[in-house]
Amino acid sequence: MRNVRIILVLTALGLLGAWPLLRGVLHPGERMGESPAAAAAQKGLSLPEVIEEHLLAREQKFSFTMYDYEDAEQTFKQAFAEAAATNDYTAYIIDSYHYTIRERTERADVEMTVNYRESADQTAQVDQITTQALQSIITAGMNDHEKVKAIHDWVVDRVEYDTSLTRYTAYEALLTGKTVCQGYALLMHNMLTKAGFVSRIVEGTVSSGDHAWNLVRLDGQWYHLDATWDDAAPPAQAENGGEAKESAEQTASRYRYYLLSDKQIERDHQWTKRYPKAVTAYSETLALAKEAGSKTQAAEWAKLEAAIGLDWLSPSRTVQSVGMLAERLMNMARNNKSELQIRYTNGENWSDDIRAAIRKASIPDGYTVRSYPYGTDGSVLLHIRLMPGT
């Protein structure tokens, strides 16, 4: 009889890596002790399914026995990866784990210790809070598009980014009001799933390093949704000592990463695993909905379009050159208007271009300009205000 003892420690900090998927086999009659997964073992579930039961129960220590394998360690690793991948929420609250495999002639006994960033009790509190929130923000008559927006807005309004980089969970987001991208994605995933949507947590990278966001399926189409980066919109500023009020440009900036296609988000986001393809631009989805619906329905879709800033894409609100910008400024002056709000497609050079357009329009000095990033196409929203007397 051979008796080999293998110990391996794996640590997952923040984001889990990807492992190949393969089902292991658990002997149907093997007893695993008193635990939520024991009944599953008695039913003859596969090894990944049994491990999943332990993970869902947030068990920190558990054991099981494997049979009919060729490589015990590889079979276990692949089964654990499949078990974790079954539930995104569980997968992304695993902090670290280690295991011991004792291999004998016809069996391998596995003992596991798993450390979670969020306990079962804490997850229960997340569920309680989000259930109450959904009952409040999801109202009768809402369509699915409105529901996704309501969830997005609730999360962005309630949470801010944790610059200390120490809070990773939905529980910490709700308890302290702060979390990193992983906590945003977990909270969005919890609420979207609970509201009836199919959601995935996307693991990837951005210019600053590792990042996480969401994919959500809406009316059969997949879209990316990054609540973390939407929460980076510039804050509203109060004028003349009054109450801070969010401008139309700030509102649009708040939805820069809201329901994007692969093509739109890949300009500054890259994903490291395979996910469903997001091939449709949400602006096209709403345009088709307006055309297909009744006059009343078209008005409702237009209202949603404006609420998330997609109305800035219309030709009447877009300029593409210094000449076009100067023409808009001249029209503004001729009509005795003091403000111009426009989307400028050449966002990289907007500062130099606005000066050139002001000169070209023969408008004397005395103006202010505020710029806000728009979408991922490099355009900016400009709010130009002429000073009195110009």
In 10 A of CB 9, how many CB atoms?
9
Record the tokens describing residue 242, joined without a space: 């009054």
Per-residue pLDDT tens over the stretch 234-244: 655 544 444 44
| Domain spans, the chain | 4-116, 120-310, 314-386
CATH number (1.10.10, 3.10.620, 3.30.460, 1.10.3910) of 120-310 reads: 3.10.620
Tell me whether the CATH fold assigned to 120-310 matches the one assigned to 314-386: no
Helix (H) or strand (E) holding 307: helix 295-307
Which single residue is written with the structure tokens 């995933």? 189
Per-residue model confidence (pLDDT) at position 364:
75
Which residues, 6+ apart, have CB-to-CB distance to 281 below 8 Å?
Answer: 260, 261, 263, 264
The whole-number pLDDT of residue 32 equals 40
pLDDT in tens, 280-314: 999 999 999 999 988 999 999 999 999 999 999 99
Q: In the sheet that 108-116 helps form, which strands lie side by side, from edge to edge?
A: 4-11, 94-103, 108-116, 61-66
Distance, in Å, from the CA atom of 32 to the CA atom of 111, rounded to the nearest integer, reads 11
Min mean pLDDT across 167-176, 305-314, 334-343 is at: 334-343
Each residue's pLDDT tens digit, 84-130: 889 999 999 999 999 999 998 888 999 999 999 999 999 999 999 99
Give the mean pLDDT of 258-270. Answer: 98
How many Å apart are CA 175 and CA 164, to the nearest integer?
16
Distance separating alpha carbons of residues 120 and 212, to the nearest angstrom: 22
Q: What share of the chain is helix, strand, coil (3-state, %, to 5)?
A: 40, 25, 35
pLDDT (0 to 100) of residue 234: 62
Q: pTM value?
A: 0.86
Mean of pLDDT values over 231-255: 69
For residues 57-76, give the mean pLDDT. Answer: 91
Residue 206 contacts residue 268 (beta carbons within 8 Å): yes
What local confidence, expressed as pLDDT, does residue 43 receive? 55
DSSP structure string for 167-198:
--SHHHHHHHSEE-HHHHHHHHHHHHHHTT--
pLDDT band at 42 (very low <50, low <70, confident <90, very high): very low
Residue 230 · residue 255 · CB < 8 Å: yes
Give the span between the Cα atoms of 241 and 219, in whole angstroms. 45
* Residue percentage of the chain with pLDDT more than 90: 72
Q: Per the CATH hierarchy, to which homologous superfamily does domain 314-386 belong?
A: Vaccinia Virus protein VP39 (3.40.50.150)
Q: Report the pLDDT value the prediction gives residue 18, as an integer from 0 to 100.
A: 33
- What percent of the chain is modeled with pLDDT above 70? 84
Pairing relationship of beta strands 209-218 and 199-206 according to DSSP bridges: antiparallel
Average pLDDT for 169-176: 98
pLDDT for 210 beyond 60: yes
Residue 45 is predicted with a pLDDT of 80
Closest CA to 382 of 252, 245, 265, 255: 252
The more confident residue out of 43 and 32 is 43
Could you tell me which residues come within 8 angstroms of residue 278 by beta carbon, excluding any fewer than 6 positions away?
215, 221, 222, 223, 224, 260, 261, 262, 265
The pLDDT assigned to 13 comes to 41
pLDDT recorded at residue 215: 98
The closest alpha carbon to 82, from 50, 114, 108, belongs to 50
